[in-house]
């Protein structure tokens, strides 16, 4: 087995854009791009007082060539992960042990499936998994975690003895081949009459409110737009009494580097005030709904901006998948079906590992049953 030198990088800039992006193998998932991850660090979004400390693992061969790396962080809490392990941390605390810090391989504040093991080949991926385990011993960590994994990588983690965990999100997918939808009318035409009527009524309410809805790429957004977009994003957190993690500088930085991967759905009132926004990112195949904010309450506006405009965009631009964000059973009636997401977990202490394994087995049975029940309420007509 080839041996690699493991290095820890406390900033992605220490690896550099060319070396990092060379490991993507043409994958244009925006969340693992150098531009996205570096913008998080440069903008003050990654902050130790928020529980995030960049610690990117990288493997080098004997000639010093980068062979594998992963976006990884020392975590001092479980905020911004969307894979909830608070109960595990509490179990450690009740036994007088420290769960934090832990190692997390993930994209901060982004519950989005995508590549996590960036590597030249599958052998390098396996070596990177072992390096994560090695880091637990070297850094005296309780555990290592990898969130929102692609299925092929789940299998590699399982082969290395990691625990597998499954959760449910709601995704829109355009059917293949002859059943493929070309228009929004095709899409709702595949639904039951009741669901189709409800969607049309929701869209009609927004139209009646007199708002102008626009879709703009990052190329069409000015700094003034970004100030308003971030203000609306921040307002959402203020209303809920939470702290917004992403800074205005992050939005400006990433949009400047990757404008074609940005889509903003904007709502303007009759005085040309921006009163709502839904911010999305995209790859060549998938639209990712990420952030929402509004200064007005209008029935159906959230669904219009966050769901229906995104579906129309996918249909117009040939994208097959729309991931609108974590959670939300209300998405089912609007054409987003329950879809499994996956994470993997390496627990150093065998006693806790065995207990968590039993918990995950039962949790998996419950979530399989939950997904099956949701699918029985699909809004689509049977084939």
The residues with which 278 forms a beta bridge, in sequence order, are: 265, 292
Q: Collapsing DSSP states into helix, strand and coil, what is residue 301?
A: helix
CATH 3.40.630.30 matches 175-319: yes
Q: Where are the alpha helices (DSSP H) in the chain?
A: 17-22, 34-42, 86-94, 122-139, 151-159, 184-189, 193-208, 223-240, 248-257, 301-303, 309-317, 350-375
Q: How far is CA 21 from CA 76, 266, 284, in A?
A: 28, 31, 16
Say what angle helices 151-159 and 122-139 make with each other, to 10 degrees.
60
CATH no. for 5-168+339-375: 3.40.630.30
Q: In what order do the strands lie in the sheet with 118-119?
A: 5-9, 56-60, 66-70, 118-119
How far is Cα 255 from Cα 186, in angstroms, rounded to an integer? 32
Apex 307 CA angle, 151 and 373, nearest 5: 55
The ranges of the chain annotated as CATH 3.40.630.30 are 5-168+339-375, 175-319
How far is Cα 247 from Cα 230, in angstroms, rounded to an integer? 8
pLDDT tens series, the chain, 383 aa:
589 999 999 999 999 999 999 999 999 999 999 999 999 999 999 999 999 999 999 999 999 999 999 999 999 999 999 999 999 999 999 999 999 999 999 999 999 999 999 999 999 999 999 999 999 999 999 999 999 999 999 999 999 999 999 999 999 999 998 789 999 999 999 999 999 999 999 999 999 999 999 999 999 999 999 999 999 999 988 887 788 899 999 999 999 999 999 999 999 999 999 999 999 999 999 999 999 999 999 999 999 999 999 999 999 999 999 999 988 999 999 999 999 999 999 999 999 999 999 999 999 999 999 999 999 999 999 86
Handedness of CA 81, 83, 84, 90 (dihedral sign): negative
How far is Cα 210 from Cα 198, in angstroms, rounded to an integer? 20
């Amino acid at each position: 087995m080839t041996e690699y030198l493991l290095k820890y990088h406390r900033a992605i800039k220490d690896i550099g854009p060319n070396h990092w992006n060379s490991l993507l193998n043409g994958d244009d998932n925006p969340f693992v791009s150098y531009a996205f991850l570096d913008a998080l660090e440069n903008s003050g979004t990654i902050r130790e007082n928020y529980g995030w400390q960049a610690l990117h693992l990288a493997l080098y061969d004997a000639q010093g060539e980068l062979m594998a790396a992963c976006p990884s962080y020392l975590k001092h809490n479980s905020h911004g992960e969307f894979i909830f392990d608070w109960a595990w941390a509490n179990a450690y605390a009740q036994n007088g042990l420290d769960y934090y810090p832990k190692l997390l391989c993930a994209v901060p504040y982004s519950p989005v499936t995508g590549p996590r093991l960036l590597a030249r080949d599958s052998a390098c991926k396996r070596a990177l998994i072992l390096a994560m385990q090695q880091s637990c011993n070297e850094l005296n960590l309780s555990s290592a975690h990898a969130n929102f994994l692609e299925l092929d990588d789940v299998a590699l983690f399982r082969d290395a003895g990691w625990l597998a965990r499954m959760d449910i999100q709601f995704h829109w997918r355009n059917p293949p081949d002859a059943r493929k939808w070309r228009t929004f009318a095709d899409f709702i035409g595949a639904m039951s009459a009741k669901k189709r009527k409800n969607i049309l009524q929701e869209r009609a309410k927004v139209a009646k409110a007199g708002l102008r809805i626009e879709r703009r790429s990052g190329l069409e957004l000015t700094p003034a737009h970004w100030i308003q977009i971030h203000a609306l994003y921040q307002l959402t957190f203020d209303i809920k009494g939470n702290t917004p993690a992403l800074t205005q500088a992050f939005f400006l930085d990433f949009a400047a580097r990757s404008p074609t991967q940005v889509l903003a759905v904007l709502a303007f009132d009759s005085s040309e005030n921006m009163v709502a926004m839904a911010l999305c990112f995209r790859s060549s195949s998938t639209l990712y709904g990420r952030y929402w904010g509004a200064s007005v309450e209008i029935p159906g506006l959230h669904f219009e901006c966050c769901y229906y405009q995104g579906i129309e965009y996918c249909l117009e631009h040939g994208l097959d998948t729309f991931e609108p964000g974590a959670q939300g059973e209300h998405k089912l009636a609007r054409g987003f079906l329950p879809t499994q997401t996956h994470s993997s977990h390496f627990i150093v202490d065998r006693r806790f590992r065995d207990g968590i394994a039993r918990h995950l087995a039962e949790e998996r049975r419950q979530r399989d049953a939950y997904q099956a029940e949701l699918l029985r309420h699909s809004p689509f007509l049977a084939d």
